[in-house]
Structure 1
């Protein structure tokens, strides 16, 4: 049986989830398939040979990334040369468009078929990127149904596959185990607030303290409240542990390593950084308050480019403001606290969240990894057919 070689690069934790699902779906079709590139724990467990640590790619913000540009450019150059010297049958870039699309463009020019998994947010900003995407990739896999229309001018080879998270949630959740892990020490009638300030170092820098200060504000209003903060990895855990021990030891707070999805599932409301985690919270049908802070210069640049009314996926997918969005200098306990309190106590609002978010989940539940693997297989088979002519 012929070995199929695939280059694959994910840029952050959310891409690791997508990549692992796609890898396993392709392995079912091609038992001799081999993957190498960049992935996180899930992709490595699925059999990806790592050529570079994913953690080094996970940088957010225009200003924040400047100090890392030389390293990132060197890494991309080495990866491109590696794949040109050892051509895979296919290359798949997962999200992280600033890094992966540049690779795809050069590899496609070298005759290697390329796939980009996750459309960049061209519907929100920098719409002219659709022309560069067309030059870079032979196949674009999109997660949301509204994205296809944006690519009409380029006649992009595109396949809407749905979102893998919608297929995983809540099927993979052991709710009883989650309750035992995160609610066993609090009274059954008590409410639990999940704090998710993000997984990147820059997010911890800008959001961890105001999120914890908001928890203190909430605790001053409702002494019965409890809080859980899941750390994305050991490094983030240690950062947060030091901050909590130094300044927030008075909180009814449990700091845990990983388990963010389970924490959200058993929570009553969530204070969360804007990002893919908000989609998970949406699929879990949870009331949330979305917040984000970044370097002032970065925000000044981004805010002039963004065309979408909302930054969080739950609002974008709903087409209306279902959850509050709080940005920059407004990320303070006096603003966040009352919003979280409302998410906990307004029963009509909570019922509406449950209804609308259920509809969103139903729309996105498309067996995405299998549909993505079908599209990739068609590209691979087309490549093989051309070679045999």
Structure 2
């Protein structure tokens, strides 16, 4: 297939981090194959690259077993509609971006019909539910791995996989000046004043569970360190209003500045970070700021997950390093007293320079031009160009 031949790519991203990954791949595909059309599901970044989103991405952004059960009817309706559309349109390749429980059944159906399928962001089979590898092999022709040890797992199970690094490692500079970030956000600090960034999550459920605890922890930290300013970047107006309302109800006197978007700049402006688990921990590592990672599941989800989870850590910095670089607090340990103690430990640690140096080494190891490599794999699967996939 030449670059002038029309190419139809089906792609589904289930949440904001997937929208970011997908946008980079779509951009690279357009450069290599100008006659490309994208259909599926994505957010504003993917839509800006030309995706026609069939259903709202936010409808798919559900995390936790109990939460999924509550939205199951809507999710199944959307899945049925997408499968019918893809079968009708017959794309040359399907790219599922993360959201494995939603994307893999679609991929399995399409693969059975002879449509090449690719999954971007390995499901965490190395961490829990390792028996899923059988279903993944039935659904996917190729897996794109963000982490180096993931490819080793797929190699052992004879499923083609490529370690592509992470596009965030390509996008975020190796060194980001705290002062420049503060100037960009127009944050004025007095001598000796520090900044703590609070990032309780991008979903309403996460903010509802973690927001009050983060705010109480911030209040306790502020009482011990009254020179502190708190900032919180919010992904949307809805999340900002939700968090502001929590603050007004719980800690109205807390010196907190909400920032619209610009989460990376806000993290770069901070001396320390209190954040939820997920891609944001990788961003924090790449920006090279001390952090405390916390997460709380719905009770039912946690009871199920804790029996199956095999990995030693749940935050990406620790997983990449293979050791505890940053404090992780989970479920009942996520309380103001322990969060404050962990923050103080991180910000006063004598080996902070060593931590930052380790972050830098991990950053360099993830700089592999992920968008470019991912697009090349997609085109190879669609038989648009030759490439030796490893």
What TM-score comes out, normalization by structure 2 length?
A: 0.95
**Is the 2:142–2:159 contact (alpha carbons within 8 Å) kept by the matching residues of 1?**
yes
2:7 counterpart residue number: 4
The answer on 1:100 being equivalent to 2:111 is no
Q: Is the 8 A contact 1:162 1:365 kept in 2?
A: yes
Residue 120 of structure 1 deviates from its aligned partner by 0.5
Task: Decide whether aligned partners of structure 1 residues 171 and 318 sit closer, same or farther in structure 2, where only a CA change above 3 A counts.
Answer: closer
Q: 2:299 is matched with which residue: 296, 300, 310?
A: 296
Q: Which residue of 1 aligns with 2:367?
A: 365
**Aligned residue in 2 for 1:287:** 290
| Counterpart contact for 2:118–2:143, Cα < 8 Å | yes
Tell me which of 148, 151, 162 is aligned to 1:148.
151
Counterpart residue number, 1:136: 139
Distance (Å, rounded) in 2 between the aligned partners of 1:172 and 1:355: 11
Trace 1:246-325 onto structure 2 (pairs within 5 A): 246-325=249-328
What whole-Å deviation, never above 9, does each CA across 1:76-96 have from its counterpart, x for those lacking one? 011001100111111100000
Partner of 1:55: 58
Aligned twin of 2:33: 30
Number of aligned residue pairs: give it: 383
Over 3 Å counting, the alpha-carbon distance change for 1:11 and 1:226 in structure 2 is same
Shift of 1:325: 0.8
- CA distance in structure 2 between the partners assigned to 1:2 and 1:382 by the alignment: 9
Q: Whole-Å Cα distance in 2 between the matches of residues 172 and 182 of structure 1?
A: 18
SS state at 1:378 partner: helix
C-alpha contact (below 8 Å) 2:19/2:42 kept by paired residues: yes
TM-fit CA distance, 1:41 = 1.3
Q: Is the 8 A contact 1:90 1:112 kept in 2?
A: yes
TM-score of the superposed pair, with normalisation by structure 1: 0.95
Post-superposition offset of 1:171: 7.2
Q: 1:289 to 1:171 in 2, by over 3 A?
A: closer
Equivalence for 1:387: none
Contact 2:274 2:293 in 1 (8 A): yes
Structure 2 residue 84 is matched with structure 1 residue 118: no
1:127 to 118, 127, 130: 130
Question: Does the CA contact (< 8 Å) of 1:5 and 1:34 recur in 2?
Answer: yes
Q: Secondary structure at the match of 1:323?
A: coil
For structure 2, the residue ranges without an aligned partner over 5 or more in a row are none
* Counterpart in the other structure of 2:202: 199
Aligned to 2:81: 78
Distance (whole Å) between structure 1 residues aligned to residue 50 and residue 159 of structure 2: 30
Alpha carbons 1:10, 1:95 under 8 Å: kept: yes
1:88 aligned to 2:91? yes
Secondary structure, aligned partner of 2:257: strand
Tell me, yes or no, if the aligned pair for 1:183 and 1:266 is still in contact at 8 Å.
no
For residue 379 of structure 1, what is the aligned residue in structure 2?
A: 381
Q: Deviations over 1:300-349 (max 9, x none)?
A: 11011000011111101011011111111221111100111122222x23
Task: Report the counterpart of residue 159 of structure 1 in structure 2.
Answer: 162
Query: How many Å apart are 1:181 and its aligned residue?
Result: 4.2
Superposed, which structure 2 residues align to 1:187-226 within 5 Å? 187-226=190-229
Partners of 1:22 and 1:98 in 2: CA distance: 21
2:44 matches 1:41: yes
SS across alignment from 1:34 = strand
